[in-house]
Structure 1
Amino acid sequence: MSSYLSSTIKQFEYYKSLGDKTFKQLTFDELQWQSHEDANSISIIVKHIVGNMLSRWTNFLTEDGEKEWRHRDEEFNATFNTYEDLITTWETGWKCLFDAITPLTKDDLERIIYIRNQGHTVTEAINRQLAHYSYHIGQIVFLGKLLKGSDWESLSIPKGNSTAYNDDKFSKAKGKRHFTDDL
């Protein structure tokens, strides 16, 4: 189970890096873009993810993950004034998450915590949030690709490069490593 914790942390770091790399390719105006009035911009998705992170991971072993101070509906209103505000908020959410899960031990994984009074093991809560964040970060990346078009810099294996990528991987000896180790 200790490999579960280290792997999970690496997965969260990977998804954070996808967001980071997307933001670096976009202007503040692009981060605010909405396809229509009811659609979420990247900045709104960021605000929602961070609101969720702060609620779920603050004192998560001792308090319900849906905090009374969270106002989820307000997360879907565009309020960032600058690119720097968005990035600072993004970093605050991730810091809260990493500060909560980094000190965990395998003994913590079966502890019961609550989200909206629904009991979860810590493992289940981690998996729930990993899936939730990767879902929304996929939306961020998709919107980034849509906005940049042919100027988009691929965050994974670019089209047409699969053979070269695989050749490189298979040229190395077999060994246990995380897929993010050489990104």
Structure 2
Amino acid sequence: MAQLKDEDLFWVYNEECNSIAIIVQHLWGNMLSRWTDFLTTDGEKEWRNRDLEFESVINTKDELMEKWNAGWQCMFDALDSLKPEDCEKTVYIRSEPHSVVDAINRQLAHVPYHIGQIVFIGKMAASNWIALTIPKGQSKAFNAAMTKKPTSKF
């Protein structure tokens, strides 16, 4: 998102697609719902309005970043609070039972899916996209540089 102009965050390919802002809004709603009171309440909170997450509510990059950061903070706070014995517990998402590990894995599938969408849209919208990983055609040079680094021994 840092590579994009503010207006690019609200760009949509067509009316069936979501903007980066919409995807962030959805991730924010999902993360707050899933991770608030993670061990004690259903992950689909009554106060969540999922349908509204797909409407243009965010109007500025600052709002977008506030929601982005709030969603991640909620998730990390919940994960940081877990104790080993919590992994044996059952939590619910839309009244469906999940082990704590399964609920976490569910989020580890859902969130990266949407982050991939954000990157794809960003590549389409950016004027000079800088690769987030190894740039095209640079694998050999990257691997050569990596083999020159000292390795750690366990």
Q: TM-score, normalised by structure 1?
A: 0.79
| 1:86–1:163 Cα change, 3 Å | same
1:52 to 30, 35, 42: 30
Q: Distance in 2 between matches of 1:94 and 1:42?
A: 16
- Seen in structure 2, the aligned counterparts of structure 1 residues 175 and 106 have a Cα distance that, compared at 3 Å, is farther
CA distance in 1 between counterparts of 2:153 and 2:44 reads 41
Partner Cα separation in structure 2 for residue 153 and residue 63 of structure 1:
41
Which residue in the other structure is 2:144 paired with? Answer: 167
Q: Offset at 1:105?
A: 2.4
Q: Could you give the per-residue CA deviations for residues 10-67 of structure 1, whole angstroms, max 9, x where no partner exists?
A: xxxxxxxxxxxxx111122111011112211110000000100000000010000000
Distance 1:175 1:58, change over 3 A: farther
Q: 1:120-131 counterparts in 2 under 5 A? A: 120-131=98-109
Higher mean C-alpha displacement, 140-149 vs 130-139: 140-149
Letter in 2 for 1:79: V
Question: What secondary structure is seen at the aligned counterpart in 1 of 2:81?
Answer: coil
Runs of 5+ consecutive residues of structure 1 not aligned to the other structure: 1-22, 177-183
Instruction: Give the Cα–Cα distance (whole angstroms) in 2 for the partners of residues 175 and 135 of structure 1.
Output: 34
Q: How do 1:46-125 and structure 2 match up within 5 A?
A: 46-125=24-103
1:145 is aligned to 123
The CA distance in 1 between the partners of 2:14 and 2:4, in whole Å, is 19
Identity %: 52
Q: Which of structures 1 and 2 has the bigger CA Rg?
A: 2
1:173 Cα offset (Å): 1.8
SS in structure 2 opposite 1:152? coil
For the residues of structure 1 that align with 2:15 and 2:60, how far apart are their CA atoms? Answer: 20
* 2:27 partner SS: helix
Per the alignment, in what secondary structure is the counterpart of residue 24 of structure 1?
A: coil
Residues of 1 paired with 2:131 and 2:78: CA distance?
31
Distance 1:110 1:166 in 2: 41
2:142 is the counterpart of 1:155: no
Aligned length: 153
For residue 98 of structure 2, what is the amino acid of its counterpart? H
Show structure 2 runs of 5+ residues with no match: none
Cα distance change of structure 1 residues 175 and 102 upon mapping to structure 2, 3 Å threshold: farther
